[in-house]
Amino acid sequence: MAGGESAELQAKLRHFMHLMRVASADPQGRNAFSGQGRVLKLLSLQDGVTQKDLAAVLGIRSQSLAELLSKMEAKGLVSRAPNPQDKRTSIVTLTDGGKAAAKEHDTAEEFDPFSALSERERVGLAGFLDKLIAAAESHMTPEDFPPTPLKWPPPSPSGDAWGPPPPPRGQHPGPPPGPPPDFLR
């Protein structure tokens, strides 16, 4: 394939992904892809988690999460309180406004761009995407793969470890099988 054709396909894919994010946003700009949308979804599944655990599940730095939570606090969506077991971290909970926003987001009718395709076209697209993913992964080293997603909701306070232990360095199993969990979409 000529370089120009590849660049055009990549540009179309980026544009499609942008449209998916915009089309799925609620009136406040939150969607399952946005930071606020992801926090709302996770806390609606398991409210009252530590800021540290939330940052780990979201895969973002603690400082980035602190900034995001400050904005959400200003909007009345979440509250933070000192963790009674560890004063260095906070417990994040949904406020009544946050619970309402999470429920509104869950009940909102989501845009499904794939409904424009026939069953045969969807199967074909899935096959093309599998082939593209495999080609991209074949050019990656084991260290390039993202870590295995953590379990959500978090384990009981008894101290069970989150998710499976990481694989030994250089032996990453690759991406997890199947589609990502609903709260990561």
49: helix, strand or coil: strand
CA distance 164 to 39: 23
C-beta neighbour count of 6 within 10 angstroms:
10
Q: Are 30 and 97 in contact (CB under 8 A)?
A: no
Give pLDDT tens digits for 38-58.
899 889 988 899 998 898 888
Q: pTM higher than 0.85 for the full model?
A: no
Give the pLDDT confidence of 69-89 residue by residue, as tens digits. 999 999 999 999 998 888 888
| Contact partners, residue 52, CB within 8 Å, separation at least 6 | 62, 89
Domains of the chain and any CATH numbers: 8-111 (1.10.10.10)
Q: Where are the alpha helices (DSSP H) in 46-185?
A: 51-58, 62-74, 96-107, 119-138
DSSP class of 125: H
